[in-house]
Amino acid sequence: MAEKLLMKESCAEFSKLLGAKVSMPGGGAASALVGALGSALCQMAANFTVGNKRYLDVEDEMKSIVERSDKLRARLIELADEDAKAFPELSAAWKLPKDAPDRQAIFEKAALNACKAPLEMVKCCCEAIDLLSVVMEKGNVMLISDVGCGVLLCEAAMNSAAMNIYINAGSLRHSPEAREIESQTDELLAEYLQKADDISGKVTLIVRRV
């Protein structure tokens, strides 16, 4: 039987499942979906710039952003399911008796694996924020509020995905690989949360005509 994919569910069914007393989906899948929506808004704003005579000088650049943001959107949708697939292994590792042979090795492998999808989510959101920055500066001004919404969604998705990284990496106190993952996450958040705040701040000034 083919494996059921969370992201094949309707929005209504996914949200219902998210609220149910089940382990999956959880915050990781929700983070990926939010990031995908942010990337989609970037794609939308670029799409409405392409073909507009006022923006012919950035036509090629916007076409590239349409393609790149669509790939990010699609990848984040995949990551929602990849994150959910990592949970059963981690859950099983937690349940192993403390005196079970190789328990530590099994647990470390599962916890590190559970960090992979959310770390890639963070990286995808960072790339989307870079693209949104370009669209804000050069894209169709009629879509500026959509750019702002996209940035806020990517920022939220990035913060949420990082939560999942920290809780899983933090359970491995003596793992150099876990510390490296945390360090990567810290660096990305430090740079891109500030960039997202700058973009959303500029957009707010524009839409409020201050």
Question: Closest Cα partner for 156 from 49, 48, 76, 46?
Answer: 76
pLDDT for the residue 150 = 98
Return the percentage of the chain with pLDDT > 70, whole number.
96
Single pTM value for the model: 0.92
Return the percentage of the chain with pLDDT > 90, whole number.
74
Which domains are delineated in the chain? 26-207 (1.20.120.680)
Residues 6+ apart with CB under 8 A from 150: 37, 38, 39, 40, 41, 42, 45, 128, 132
pLDDT surpassing 60 at residue 3: no
Mean pLDDT of 7-24: 83
pLDDT in tens, 26-74: 899 999 999 999 999 999 999 999 999 999 999 999 999 999 999 999 9
Place of tokens 């507009």: 52
Mean pLDDT of 89-101: 87
> Whole-angstrom Cα distance, residue 117 to residue 111?
11
pLDDT surpassing 80 at residue 6: no
Better pLDDT: 45 or 93 = 45
- Please enumerate, as own/partner, the contacts of 46-55 that have beta carbons within 8 Å and a separation of 24 or more: 46/131, 46/135, 46/139, 48/139, 48/140, 48/142, 48/143, 49/135, 49/138, 49/139, 49/140, 49/143, 52/140, 54/140, 55/138, 55/139, 55/140
Identify the burial level of 192 via C-beta atoms within 10 angstroms of its C-beta, where 0-12 means exposed, 13-18 middle and 19 or more buried: buried
Mean pLDDT of 19-25: 85
| Torsion, CA 179, CA 182, CA 183, CA 187, rounded to 10 | 180
pLDDT in tens, 184-203: 999 999 999 999 999 999 99
**CA-based radius of gyration for the chain:** 19
pLDDT for the residue 1 = 28
